[in-house]
Amino acid sequence: MRVLVTGGAGFIGSHIVAALASAGHEPVVYDALLPAAHPGEPALPDAEFVHGDVRDAGELEKALRGVDAVCHQAAMVGLGKDFADAPGYVSCNDHGTAVLLAAMARAGIDRLVQAGSMVVYGEGRYSCPQHGVVRPGPRDVADLEAGRFEPRCSWCGAELEPGLVGEDSPVDPRNVYATTKLAQEHLAASWARATGGAAISLRYHNVYGPGMPRDTPYAGVASFFRSALQRGEAPRVFEDGGQRRDFVHVSDVASANLRALDAIGDRPGGGHKAYNTGSGQPRTVGEMATALATAFGGPAPVVTGEFRLGDVRHITADSARLRRELGWAPRVGFAAGMTEFARSPQRASAGMAV
């Protein structure tokens, strides 16, 4: 199948392009090469390449000729510097998605797989021994300063137990980026209803692996630690290192995209569906720092007790739906993936001396 991969020159997109090619498909990279993602000369994937912006309907119309499905990875990522960046995020991610979907509708292309994100859930899922599943409010500064990092029940003040977030959990996008990722899903759902097309959003967890940008401000904690080790410094772990995440290897994210592209081809009805995409093996940030430092042969991590207001304490996906319905299984385990990541090259990214 001929697949247009928007953002195909980026970290995740370039792995998808390679996976498509090795499975015998025909990927076409469509990427605007945003300076924030490509401050230097980009290393382009070995595939047909169109230098274009997803907001450019004319360029898209040409690129979509002969295409069977679209794999939409292009987005402005990260949290931005401040709220003044909001129009840029909305333009790139939401206006861009709308222009892409309209062009697909005109071209009669009815299959879409797109990059979603766990950020749509906000704070994770928690339960109180007494009150069951609850949504914690913001953590108290006095608690954080005293080293009490676990969120508390807003009814009784008890420490909450973290749980796995399923796709039907309520959404709670807490920043502009998260809002644009959620809007992309709503746009895909509207497109599917209006055109009869089929769309899948893969809500990625913390993706890591070869080619990860060096200082990505978003979900980039593995990247920060790796860069510190490279400089000969110990990774600095915030809070008490007990924050839980799900680190999923980029090759597994690529294979999830391939599974989703195959699955929507077989689907008789249209519609939109979201799937969490994580390894299914939650780890703490402290465990990840130790695994990386050990594999790198660098100094052991330092747990600093520092904190950032607004950081999510625990967020871990339940990716069972993707395994059950699409038959996907991650291949790269935590230890092997981190050992490889400790040694593999990172990509330059904006704001870093290369």
Residue positions annotated with a catalytic role: 177
Residue 12 CA to residue 253 CA, distance in Å, equals 8
Distances (CA, A) of 292 to 108, 231, 301, 331: 46, 14, 9, 19
Exposed/middle/buried for 291, CB within 10 Å: 0-12, 13-18, 19+?
A: buried
Q: Give whichever of 195 and 277 is closer to ligand NAD, judged by the CB atom.
A: 277
Residue 131 CB, nearest distance to Zn ion (Å)?
Answer: 4
Q: Pick from 219, 352, 221, 329: which is nearest to 279 by CA? A: 329
Q: Give whichever of 117 and 243 is closer to ligand NAD, judged by the CB atom.
A: 117
Tokens for 165, please give them: 């977030």
Residue 156: name its binding partner from ligand NAD, Zn ion, none (Cβ under 5 to 8 Å by kind). Zn ion
Q: Which one-letter DSSP state was computed for residue 352?
A: S
Residue 339 CA to residue 32 CA, distance in Å, equals 32
Residue 207: name its binding partner from ligand NAD, Zn ion, none (Cβ under 5 to 8 Å by kind). ligand NAD
Check residue 229 for interaction with Zn ion (CB under 5 A): no
> Which residues are CB-contacts of 46 (< 8 A; sequence separation ≥ 6)?
18, 21
Residue 79 CB, nearest distance to ligand NAD (Å)?
Answer: 12
Check residue 267 for interaction with Zn ion (CB under 5 A): no
Q: Give the Cβ contact number of residue 18 at 10 Å.
A: 17
Count of alpha carbons within 13 angstroms of residue 275, beta-carbon side: 28
Residue 204: name its binding partner from ligand NAD, Zn ion, none (Cβ under 5 to 8 Å by kind). ligand NAD
Q: Which of residues 128, 212, 289, 342 is near Zn ion by CB under 5 A?
A: 128
Check residue 130 for interaction with Zn ion (CB under 5 A): yes
Q: Give whichever of 126 and 208 is closer to ligand NAD, judged by the CB atom.
A: 208
Q: Report 147-206 residues binding Zn ion (CB under 5 A).
A: 153, 155-156, 158
Q: Which residues would be at the binding site for ligand NAD (CB under 6 A)? A: 6-7, 9-13, 31-34, 37-38, 53-55, 73-77, 92, 96, 115, 117, 181, 204, 206-207, 213, 219
User: Residue 308 in contact with residue 237, Cβ under 8 Å?
Assistant: no
Q: Give whichever of 133 and 194 is closer to Zn ion, judged by the CB atom.
A: 133
Residue 286: name its binding partner from ligand NAD, Zn ion, none (Cβ under 5 to 8 Å by kind). none
Residue 130: name its binding partner from Zn ion, ligand NAD, none (Cβ under 5 to 8 Å by kind). Zn ion
Q: Near Zn ion by CB under 5 A, which window of 24-32, 93-101, 121-129, 261-269?
A: 121-129
Check residue 133 for interaction with Zn ion (CB under 5 A): no
Radius of gyration from C-alpha coordinates of the chain? 20
Count of alpha carbons within 13 angstroms of residue 231, beta-carbon side: 13
Q: Pick from 352, 353, 164: which is nearest to 276 by CA? A: 164
Residue 112: name its binding partner from ligand NAD, Zn ion, none (Cβ under 5 to 8 Å by kind). none
Residue 184 CB, nearest distance to ligand NAD (Å)?
Answer: 8
Strands 283-284 and 244-245: antiparallel
> Which residues are CB-contacts of 18 (< 8 A; sequence separation ≥ 6)?
45, 46, 254
Q: Which residues bind Zn ion (CB under 5 A)?
A: 128, 130-131, 153, 155-156, 158
